[in-house]
Amino acid sequence: MADSELTRHLRSALPSEAHKGLIESVLPTLIDSIAEISKTLRGSQHVSRAGSANAFGDDQLNVDVLAENRIRYVVSQCPFIMTASSEEDPIERSPQKAPGGSEHYTIGFDPLDGSSIIAPNWTVGTIIGIWEGKTALHQPPATKQVAAVLGVYGPRTTAIVALRLPGLDPVCLELGVGEDGYESTEIIRTAVRFAEPPFKTRWFAPANLRAAADDAKYMQLVSHFIQNKYTLRYSGGLVPDVVHALVKGHGVYISPVTAASKAKLRRLYELYPLALIVECAGGKAISPADGTNILDRPLEDLNETAGLVCGTAEEVDFVKKALLA
């Protein structure tokens, strides 16, 4: 990869030769995949069922399969990515290629998050977690997941990139992804951070609002937001709703787990990458079932699911108290 604005910035912010392959090969490769998926979506005028289901039993759309194939292809070109697994194919598979020196990474990704809202042409995204080593299983997420990428496909194609390397300050950037991929990518913001109080406007995104009909605590929480004049921003897409909070500097996203609503979000392919990005931006990401930090629990099975509360730290703490008191 040729030198670029982003590469130069990351070298300056993360002056570590130990992760040179991550900065100069892995991240450029994955940003290229986001540019390719963006072009694929613009050329896919018809969204339809592919006639297949992923390993979790979810029906696949034609665009799910196309996005998966785009990422798999670019991953096969990167010598530092040893294994990769996805929500569509949750097995850590090794691309057939020679390893790239002493740096080894595995990625877990959701190629196209937002299948339920893509047909009406709403914003959707890609979620990618990057782990040091050859597997994400049985590894401490807080230290072994060293980077994460959110691709956002809306009127523009953008990306949020976070890196947290040992001994270095975390980095969280917002990028504008051009048609030519990494080489035409621009840095929109060098530091994505949640704002400090007092907040002029407060936002909330209550996923699975139907669960409030069966759970009094969730209903009371939603009522609290309404009575205190929070602004509702909920699209039904995990990526755009979390990115909205990151861009605005405030917000809380809640995907509850109740007796009638089981956990649906995948730890490896959705929760871990989102949690890393939120933490690098100064926020919190917890499980609504027990209040523990998402990144505290190692992955025992690639198919694990959980709920999610994430966003501004003060709001997450309030939701934790409200749901678990």
Per-residue tokens: 242: 């979390």
- Each residue of 203-237: pLDDT tens digit? 999 999 999 999 999 999 999 999 999 999 999 99
Residue type, 199: F
Is residue 196 in some structural domain?
no
DSSP 24: I
Is residue 241 in some structural domain?
yes
- Each residue of 165-201: pLDDT tens digit? 999 999 999 999 998 899 899 999 999 999 999 999 9
Is residue 194 in some structural domain?
no
Q: Is the pLDDT of residue 46 over 50?
A: yes
Q: Cα separation of 100 and 79, whole Å?
A: 5
Residues 112 and 30 in one domain: yes
Residues 48 and 133 in one domain: yes
Number of residues in the chain: 325
Residues 174 and 289 in one domain: no
Is residue 179 in some structural domain?
yes
Is residue 195 in some structural domain?
no
DSSP per-residue string spanning 239-277: HHHHHHHHHHT--EEEE---SSS---EEIIIIIHHHHHH
Give the mean model confidence (pLDDT) for residues 283-307: 97
Q: Cα separation of 301 and 98, whole Å?
A: 27
Is residue 197 in some structural domain?
no
Among 142, 166, 189, which residue terminates a domain? 189
What is the span of the domain harbouring residue 105?
5-189
Q: Are 125 and 109 in contact (CB under 8 A)?
A: no
- Each residue of 243-280: pLDDT tens digit? 999 999 999 999 999 888 888 899 999 999 999 999 99
- Residues 254/135/19/167 CA torsion (nearest 10 deg): 60
Residues 72 and 209 in one domain: no
Query: Where residue 84 sits, what CATH number does that domain have?
Result: 3.30.540.10
Among 163, 189, 215, which residue terminates a domain? 189
The pLDDT value recorded for residue 51 is 54
Residues 131 and 237 in one domain: no
Q: What's the pTM value of the predicted model, to 2 decimals?
A: 0.94
Closest CA to 221 of 317, 292, 78, 295: 317
The pLDDT value recorded for residue 1 is 45
* Domain total in the chain: 2
CA 46 to chain CA centroid, Å, is 26
Residues 256 and 318 in one domain: yes
The pLDDT value recorded for residue 261 is 82
